[in-house]
Chain A
Amino acid sequence: MILDTRPAAPPRPSPPRRRRRRTPRTWVRGGGLTTLVFLLPMLVVFTLFSWLPIGQAVVMSFQETNLVSAATFVGLDNFRDVLSDPLLWTAVGNTLWFALLALLFGYPLPLLAAVLMSEVRRFRGVYSALAYLPVVIPPVVAVLLWKFFYDASPTGVFNTLLGAVGIGPVPWLQDAGIAMPALVIEATWAAAGGTVIIYLAALTGVAPELYEAAEIDGASVWRKVWHVTLPRLRGVLLVTFILQIIGTAQVFLEPFLFTGGGPANSTTTILLLIYNYAFANSLGGDYGAATALSIMLAAVLAIFSVIYFRVTRAWSAS
């Protein structure tokens, strides 16, 4: 192999570029039409199934409609109705409670699992697969399975296990105080695998030299994690944090399938309330209120995301 050690030639000054006039003809010749045609199916799909419904939802939030008769514009009435509904604040409180519990359980656990797995030398693939397994199970099936586990009678699966050590029976989903933590435990179990895989992927990006240097300096495992691993994962941690907040603010499946919002509205979340506005009344729901609350939730989450990224930008860059 011969290495070219000659210094690189200085760049030749390029002649002033003549700006070609863009005409439909040049656009077509330049492959614009082909690009558009290839883009078209995606545009059609997005327009029909994403942008159009979003636009319709915005319009509907100012209307009173049962989707059969003609809609009437009611100004901000839907927003006023929603904000004066006492159940809204119960739902907001429940959603925040779910988010907090999910942060306490669901945020650090996958990180811990990923760090531990990255330290393991053998069978790492097996551990990853096991961690990811719950994500593969369809969510509805998982909830039905857990509903069975959460049977509140002394013969329920969890209660039988706890009974062996003299605890319980615990009224898992049948008690207003315990139902929400029970939902969070299942949600954490169901979602942690995906986050573990993200963290594991990010951990492979941490240069081994950093750990070696830390080891030479006599750092313990804990100090290596604190001073090397976590700072290198900062970007990923920020993204998963915001995704977690957005995800938990939109929690629906668990309360809908496990408890239907009960007992006594203790697990009614914002999304479940939106669903109930629209669909719980069999004679045509309050679609205006449902879309109004959806839009308020989307706005709050968007504002939260922007503020969060602004505030943490400096930290992330460092």
Chain B
Amino acid sequence: MRSSKSIALLATFATVAIALTACSSAADAGDDGRVTVKVSIDPGLEKGAVDAFNDRVEQFEKANPKIDLEVQEYNWAATTFTAQLAGGTLPNVFTVPFTDGRGLVERKQVADISAQVAELPYAKDFNPNIAEAGMSPEAKMWAVPIAAYGQALHYNRALFTQAGLDPNDPPSTWDEVRTAARQIAQRTGQAGYAQMTSGNTGGWILTTVDYAYGGRTERVTGDKAEATIDTPEMASVLKDMKDMRWSDNSMGANFLYDWGTINQDFAAGRIGMYVSGGGNYGQLVTQNGIKAADYGVTALPLTDDKNAGVLGGGTLAVVSANSDDATKAAAVKWIDFYYMEKLTDHDAAVQDAKTLAESNAPVGSPALPVFDKATYDKTLEWTAEYVNVPLKQMTPYTDNMFDQPLLTEPSRSTQEVYALLDPVVQTVLTDRAADIKSLLAKAEADAQALLDRN
């Protein structure tokens, strides 16, 4: 009996000891100089895209024998990012939108990699407007801009044809968008035009269309930010949207779309047109398996207002705040290898494009240049033979994207103001009696309160 008690005691101690040991975390850098870096890959990718990524990992490890890469699924989502950030569960290298760059840097929630970035050969060649998104107040680059985009109007060519519209002549004004949407809805039974409304994307797209109508949602003077939501431009945007929803009934039946679900329905042929980033085709292929022949994209229609412009944004690569110096150095090497070299170096661009193409992952989706247009054009030339996206179907966008005035997203409390605008769009689309004037007045007051607090 006594011996069985002793065994029980020992077993309990052993269990607790093992459990506690399991709770402790492993260090990033080992004593032998080896470094392990956790890098991120989008979740839910098609097999080809995963294979292409794994090939790149292998190539990197071969070139850097002292660095081991661990691949972790990650994509930025407003509602989960902060939990991952606070919980310390992000990979060492991860990506964030431009809107979050400055805030993360100011709060020191990402690592200071400015010393390592400064050593990169192209460190001084970034387009200054784009580089600004990753700069600290002291103008040091804590985050590396890896991609930039302008918003565009994506459309389904098959639905256009089915509705008797010419897929090679997509709408170029908002009136034409409305007419096309009505025709698609009437003749195909699908949503002619749909819009994101949830998870802050409602505010994002509303701001995009507001910009396209010549509006702005904030005015910054020195340190003071003023909310400018209750404007004639914003009222026009919402009125047109309301007409499309309630008079034309051309916006379908789902008014709670976010980025993931609208992509899904668009790829499934349930949406005629929607607004999103110009380079979205890559996601539509790798995550939603869109049929290439059905895809079309055109420049975002702009009104005649002299202030009308295209909302642009982009992606920054950052390194987690808890990374030590060795890990930071290795992480910047990966950022350089995976995200940047292909934008500046012939061999790297070709190798990247070749790897992607061999795995049937998309090559050649439209993007805005992170450096200058000449560098961008050069990379297009280098990789031309590997391009596998339907470039011809993208010409309505690519022929015009450099001619449109590009505007940056609002810089203060961006995501919080977007979140405030979500219910405004939702109300207009779900309540026939929605009073646009009072909705905008309330949203502006709430936004101002937010801006004053932050």
Contacts and interface: CB of A to CB of B under 8 A. Distances in A.
Interface of A: 34, 37-38, 40-41, 44, 66-69, 151-154, 156, 169, 171, 173-176, 259-260, 262-265, 276, 278-285, 287
B430 A175 contact: yes
A262 B422 contact: yes
Given A264-B427, A280-B200, 20 more contacts: A40-B16, A41-B16, A67-B86, A151-B253, A152-B254, A153-B254, A156-B253, A176-B431, A260-B256, A262-B422, A262-B423, A263-B423, A264-B423, A264-B426, A265-B423, A282-B76, A282-B78, A283-B415, A284-B82, A284-B86
Contacts of B430: 171, 174-176, 262-264
A173 B426 CA distance: 12
B82 A44 contact: no
Contacts of B422: 262
Interface stretch (B102-110, B112-120, B148-156, B226-234): B102-110
Nearest to B20: A44
Contact of A280 (B13, B255, B419): B419
A34 B7 CA distance: 11
Interface of B: 5, 8-9, 12-13, 15-16, 19, 76-83, 85-86, 96, 100, 103-104, 107-109, 197-200, 252-256, 258, 321, 415-416, 419, 422-423, 426-427, 429-431
B261 to A, nearest CB: 10
A154 B200 CA distance: 28
Contact of A262 (B78, B198, B252): B198
Given A68-B108, A68-B109, A69-B108, A174 B86 contact: no
B110 to A, nearest CB: 10
Nearest to A265: B423
B421 to A, nearest CB: 11
A40 to B, nearest CB: 6
29 contacts: A40-B16, A41-B15, A68-B85, A68-B107, A154-B253, A171-B430, A173-B256, A174-B256, A174-B430, A176-B431, A259-B256, A262-B197, A263-B255, A263-B256, A263-B423, A264-B431, A278-B83, A279-B79, A279-B80, A280-B78, A281-B415, A281-B416, A282-B96, A282-B415, A283-B104, A283-B109, A284-B85, A284-B86, A284-B109
A262 B9 contact: no
Contacts of B86: 66-68, 284, 287
Contacts of B103: 283-284
A152 B253 contact: yes
Identify whether the interface residues of A are mostly helix, strand, loop, or mixed.
loop
B254 A260 contact: no
B436 to A, nearest CB: 13
Contacts of A263: 197, 255-256, 423, 426-427, 429-431
The 4 closest A-B pairs by CB, nearest first: A152-B253, A67-B86, A263-B430, A264-B427
Contact of B253 (A37, A169, A264, A279): A169
B198 A153 contact: no
Contacts of B431: 176, 263-264
Nearest to A34: B5
A171 B426 CA distance: 13
B13 A37 contact: yes
A280 B426 contact: no
A67 B85 CA distance: 9
A239 B104 CA distance: 48
Indicate the member of A151, A175, A262 with the most B CB atoms within 10 Å.
Answer: A262
Nearest to B102: A283
Contacts of A40: 12, 16
Nearest to B96: A282
Contacts of A69: 107-108
A284 B321 CA distance: 14
